[in-house]
A and B are shown apart, each in its own frame.
Chain A
Amino acid sequence: MSKRVGDVLTAVRRGRGGVSVSHNKNTAEMPVERMPVPEKVVLSMQQHIGVPCTPLVKVGDTVAVGQKIGDSDKYVSAPIHATISGKVTAVGDIKLANGIITKGVTIESDGEMREYEGIKPPVITNKQELCAAVRESGLVGLGGAGFPSHVKLNIPEDKEIDTLIVNAAECEPYITVDYRECIENAENVLKGVELLRDILGFKQVIIAIEDNKPKVFEIMKEIADRDNEAGDTIKLMTLRSRYPQGAEKMMVLSATGRKVPPGKLPADVGCVVINVASVAFIARYAETGKPLVSRSITVDGSAIREPKNLRVPIGTNIGDIIDYCGGFKSEPRKIISGGPMMGIAICDTDAPICKQNNALLAFEDKKDLVKKERDCIRCGRCVDVCPMSLMPTLIERFARVKDADRLKSIGVNVCMECGSCSYACPSGRPLVQYMRLAKQVLREESAK
């Protein structure tokens, strides 16, 4: 029993800026509950960053769980699978929670959850096979961004990669699904890490956890210790819990001290950052061959009667999920898909959830929701908190007069819209909105 404890690292370098947001991890100790099979699911053909899929089924077709129903021949895309078994009742335009109209497939359940016969574990012996398998699984970054994972893992040959960073920071308030994943599926996390390390040849793997999750840290440490024969490559790291610690560039800086230049990816400085739930999924997929058909989400907020962590088939109606959580205990004034810092406020609950949704939060009309907007007093808090060393207040000014030249020189494109500036602004200015406007101004300028 005297096995050597794996290396525990502390953050190499502290990122600048950031804000301390109250964590509100109310659902942390609630095990992920499996939601009953919904009557129907609506599957958007665009659940990832990249090219939308084309439906492979038509109205009247019978589909089974895990059957591919949408795909694209483009590289940056991820296939869509049926998440329940039943009959296709509609193929056409659907409305997503954020109001965007896109192509989608509606499946009515037969209640059997029959599995597709074609499912078999993939053979993974090298990088090409791994990337092909991950693409087939339909996996996209489960942390919220929805970037197709196979693109991330398919590192160009000319880039030297040494470090895999497993992102278990979960710095957004309220959300606890990654936390639950680490506690409930620690074995899978380890298997996934080992698979990626062995196939892609990482010299070291860093599992990065914020210091407000000591329980996850203990479990991960125990797991990592089991892998010791493999040469002590898996290390744990505690990070200061300060939003936006989980952002990719911040993560790379904290874990390795390297700075990702503007417009570049972590791979350019030798790192790959992957969400912990995505790692665990890859391990499950390698074992079973079952594609991404369900995901965990946190349902919480002051207007939800029974906050829960749920595992739901992708495409489940948001209204059904809220009903399953006891409905609203008071009238909600704002419903957010995702976390409160970067999530999207939705206008209608009659919409399906997508692969990248990690939370549904509903709030009553309270002080949280709207802050009175006043004139900028130049206090500089936005500049202090910007993790990307930008000057949001100046960007706002230039964006309003559409001064593309000055916007370009001030470097607005590195903004990741983390929301720290708007959060900190005592005058309640919607700075993130101006950041987006500024990027739009630059896009229009370059299109000229």
Chain B
Amino acid sequence: MAKKLTVSASPHVRSNETTTGIMLDVIIALMPALVMSVVYFGLRALTLTVVCVCSSVIFEALSRKIMKRPNTVGDLSAVVTGIILAFNLPASMPLWMAAIGSLVAIVVVKQMFGGIGQNFVNPAMTARIILMTSFPTAMAKWIVPFQSAWHPDAVTAATPMAVLSSVQGGDVAAVGDALPSLTQMLLGAHGGSMGEVCSLALICGGLYLMLRKVISPVIPFTFIGTVAVIMLFAGSFNLEFVAYQLLGGGLMLGAFFMATDYSTSPINKKGKIIFGIGCGLITSVIRLFGSLPEGVSFSIILMNILVPHIENMTTPRPFGEVKEKKAKKEVSKA
């Protein structure tokens, strides 16, 4: 035999799934929302996305090179981070600020902690928060859809979330025209971060990811479900109020694309349930009682930090092992 035989540990067949394939699926799932934001905010939205993606990829390649580690640009995770970061910014965001966001997300949050799978908080989410505190004016310039976001004097308006936080006892009718209609909320024709406005597109993307088994439905459902239940009570059972709460702000983007981030969410099902409920709880508390109108980013970051503890608490028992308490009970019975 000319060539030597390969000897390796079993199994000798592997599934077709690859990291790159998974990331490609996430990119596909993000496309409807990207198209919708271009519809609402024009080519400025696309430019912002391209800048975020390119700077993320460049920072990833550079930091890996400086740290003398193999180049991981091929796994496409930097592309995903770039798109999600852009989605979290207002369409009018100055491009250099967006690039700083990429620097924070890729270099500080991801690569300095060891690269993919090792970061303990969501990179794009952390970048958003850093940008929010560093450039509060630029990060709160919510321009009204269907006008050129390039224009420095573009008309801006409060986001539905800001209006909602002034609503008392779920009485959405009281604020009148200050809120867009629910159809507008679903389709995204209102002010907000460029990628979070169109809930319908995000839901479609989320369903695609579930269908492809890239994400498990547990986190999105428990997250959104918890917000829905709390808002139901907070809004004195006004269903319209609940609908505004679910469709407004970054809930859909956060629940489907950011809370489900593999690196920063629990691995097992029980942990995922706790994580989702926690996210929903903190989001609702901030929205209802905080001085900020929106709480999705902070809730996810806070729960990210708790993940190691949640995982320790929810480690599944190996097959056939009996609970200690149960075993003791049985012994005492006998």
Question: Which A residues fall within an 8 A CB radius of B?
Answer: 19, 21, 173, 249, 259-262, 264, 331-336, 340-348, 361, 363, 368-372, 374-381, 383, 387-391, 393-394, 410-411, 414, 417, 419, 422-428, 430, 432-433, 436
Q: How far is the CB of A335 from chain B (nearest CB, A)?
A: 6
B238-275, CB < 8 A from A:
262-263, 267-268
Cα-based distance from A365 to B269 in the complex (angstroms): 38
Please choose the segment from B5-13, B95-103, B196-204 that sits at the chain A interface, where 4 or more of its residues have CB less than 8 A away.
B5-13
Q: How far is the CB of B7 from chain A (nearest CB, A)?
A: 5
Jot down 20 A-B pairs with beta carbons below 8 A, ordered by A. Answer: A173-B13, A249-B319, A249-B320, A331-B2, A333-B6, A335-B5, A340-B12, A341-B11, A345-B8, A345-B12, A348-B5, A363-B12, A391-B315, A414-B321, A422-B11, A424-B15, A426-B17, A427-B18, A430-B8, A432-B10
Evaluate contact between B22 and A389: CB separation under 8 angstroms: no
Evaluate contact between B7 and A345: CB separation under 8 angstroms: yes
Cα-based distance from A374 to B315 in the complex (angstroms): 25
Cα-based distance from A261 to B22 in the complex (angstroms): 36
Evaluate contact between A433 and B9: CB separation under 8 angstroms: yes
Evaluate contact between A432 and B267: CB separation under 8 angstroms: no
Cα-based distance from A393 to B268 in the complex (angstroms): 11
Evaluate contact between B9 and A430: CB separation under 8 angstroms: yes
Evaluate contact between B6 and A334: CB separation under 8 angstroms: yes
Evaluate contact between A347 and B267: CB separation under 8 angstroms: no
B13 contacts across to A, CB distance below 8 A = 21, 173, 340-341, 368, 423
Q: What residue of chain A has the Cβ atom nearest to residue B14's Cβ?
A: A371
Question: Which B residues fall within an 8 A CB radius of A?
Answer: 1-15, 17-19, 21-22, 72, 75, 77, 115-118, 216, 262-263, 267-268, 315-322
B72 contacts across to A, CB distance below 8 A = 374-375
Evaluate contact between B321 and A370: CB separation under 8 angstroms: no
Q: How far is the CB of A387 from chain B (nearest CB, A)?
A: 7
B216 contacts across to A, CB distance below 8 A = 380
Q: How far is the CB of B261 from chain A (nearest CB, A)?
A: 9
Evaluate contact between A387 and B267: CB separation under 8 angstroms: no
Given contacts A390-B316, A410-B318, A426-B19, 12 further A-B pairs with CB under 8 A are A332-B5, A343-B10, A375-B118, A377-B117, A383-B267, A389-B317, A391-B268, A422-B14, A423-B11, A424-B15, A426-B18, A427-B19
Cα-based distance from A340 to B317 in the complex (angstroms): 28
Evaluate contact between A347 and B7: CB separation under 8 angstroms: yes
Evaluate contact between A383 and B268: CB separation under 8 angstroms: yes
Q: How far is the CB of A100 from chain B (nearest CB, A)?
A: 13
B10 contacts across to A, CB distance below 8 A = 340-345, 417, 419, 422, 432
Cα-based distance from A427 to B80 in the complex (angstroms): 17
A363 contacts across to B, CB distance below 8 A = 12
Q: What residue of chain B has the Cβ atom nearest to residue A252's Cβ?
A: B320
Cα-based distance from A335 to B316 in the complex (angstroms): 36
Q: What residue of chain B has the Cβ atom nearest to residue A258's Cβ?
A: B320
